[in-house]
Amino acid sequence: MTATASDAAASDAADAATAAAHFRFFTLEVLRTRRLGHSFLRVTFGGESLAAFRSGGYDQSLSLFLPVGDQEHTELPSTAEDTWFGAWRGMPDEARPVMRSYTVREQRRTGAGEVEVDIDFVLHGDSSPASRWAGRAVTGRRIMAIGPAVAENKSVRFQRPEGTDTVLMYADETALPAAAAILDRLPAGTRVKAWFEVPHPDDRLSLHTLADQEVTWIVREQGAGGPARTERVLSALRAAQLPAEGTPYAWLAGEAGTIRAVRRHLVQERSVDRRAVRFTGYWRLGASEEQLLAEAYAGQAPSEDPASDL
């Protein structure tokens, strides 16, 4: 092995070790729940292990392991760094906890010094494991999660470059908690134009921010999906007047097909630098979450590189 190859291998190993050190398993215990709107439920978690939890804010994500069937708590055969994944994948289908990615809506320390974490769930009956679990969440139930042990970690995707004076945002209901968390942290003087798509008028939540925000709510008609849904979103964007001057940064998250269409609109029709557009497909119309996970495991997930083809 040449010196160059040896150095590269050592660097790769160091990067892998650093990435692993950024995340660890946590046990989350339900403290309370609160209905936020027609479709949103906030679950507040606590637990001793959260003392080591270090959210980086903005759109910080973590992976939840939700119990299946009538199980009340998550049980994993291993939480060791080098064996948990294989052990989890090797569990029988009927016993394997369901892994789902969610956003940390807020992390805080109470007056008693305990750490609490809020996670907002979209409720749509029993049609998904996460909605089913959240709708039945009661105080004392526990789930496992993989989350950040350091605030600077790769699961914070909102990375606003210096010099950006305008933030453009699009989110559907699955990404609205992340968008709200971003707005929480934006400083005064930041211009924000946002388009938020929700399934019900009562889902138009009150959003706190110091930024100068202009939010357009897009209330989706029942059953409006596919091309009609995307076209409704694009019509709202095309009707908007964007600042004629300045340096925008765009953050887009939600259904993958709609996100791609919004990205094309901003880059091709609005001349936004594609390198300044951060886009993340939280789900894809017509694909199950298990299918998306399988694609990710196989390295077949669509690229989210800003320089990728439109």
User: Do residues 51 and 98 both lie within one domain?
Assistant: yes
Beta strands 40-46; 106-109: pairing state:
unpaired
Tell me which residue of 133, 147, 98 sits closest to 289, measured CA to CA: 98
User: Do residues 65 and 105 both lie within one domain?
Assistant: yes
CATH of the domain at 25: 2.40.30.10
pLDDT at residue number 172? 96
CATH of the domain at 212: 3.40.50.80
pLDDT at residue number 18? 46
- Of 148, 175, 207, the one marking the end of a domain is 148
Find out whether 283 and 175 touch, Cβ atoms under 8 Å. no
**Structural domain includes residue 161:** no
**Structural domain includes residue 138:** yes
Structural domains counted in the chain: 2
Tell me which residue of 110, 99, 106 sits closest to 43, measured CA to CA: 106
- Of 85, 114, 148, the one marking the end of a domain is 148
Q: What are phi and psi of 165, to 5 degrees?
A: -115, -5
User: Do residues 195 and 141 both lie within one domain?
Assistant: no
User: Do residues 217 and 291 both lie within one domain?
Assistant: yes
Find out whether 196 and 179 touch, Cβ atoms under 8 Å. yes
238 sits in which H/E element: helix 226-238
User: Do residues 98 and 206 both lie within one domain?
Assistant: no
In this prediction, the residues of the chain whose per-residue pLDDT falls under 70 are 1-20, 222-226, 286-303, 307
User: Do residues 91 and 176 both lie within one domain?
Assistant: no
User: Do residues 191 and 281 both lie within one domain?
Assistant: yes
Taken in order 303, 215, 182, 121, the sign of the CA dihedral is: negative
Find out whether 29 and 102 touch, Cβ atoms under 8 Å. no
User: Do residues 179 and 234 both lie within one domain?
Assistant: yes
- Domain range for 181: 166-297
pLDDT at residue number 293? 64
**Structural domain includes residue 219:** yes
pLDDT at residue number 45? 98
**Structural domain includes residue 174:** yes
Q: Please tell me the distance from the alpha carbon of residue 68 to that of residue 74, in angstroms, as a whole number.
A: 8
User: Do residues 111 and 219 both lie within one domain?
Assistant: no
- Of 96, 119, 148, the one marking the end of a domain is 148
pLDDT tens for 190-237 read 999 999 999 999 999 999 999 999 999 999 876 556 678 899 999 999
User: Do residues 116 and 69 both lie within one domain?
Assistant: yes
**Structural domain includes residue 308:** no
pLDDT at residue number 279? 95
User: Do residues 43 and 144 both lie within one domain?
Assistant: yes
User: Do residues 215 and 182 both lie within one domain?
Assistant: yes
**Structural domain includes residue 3:** no
R_g of the chain, CA atoms, integer Å: 20
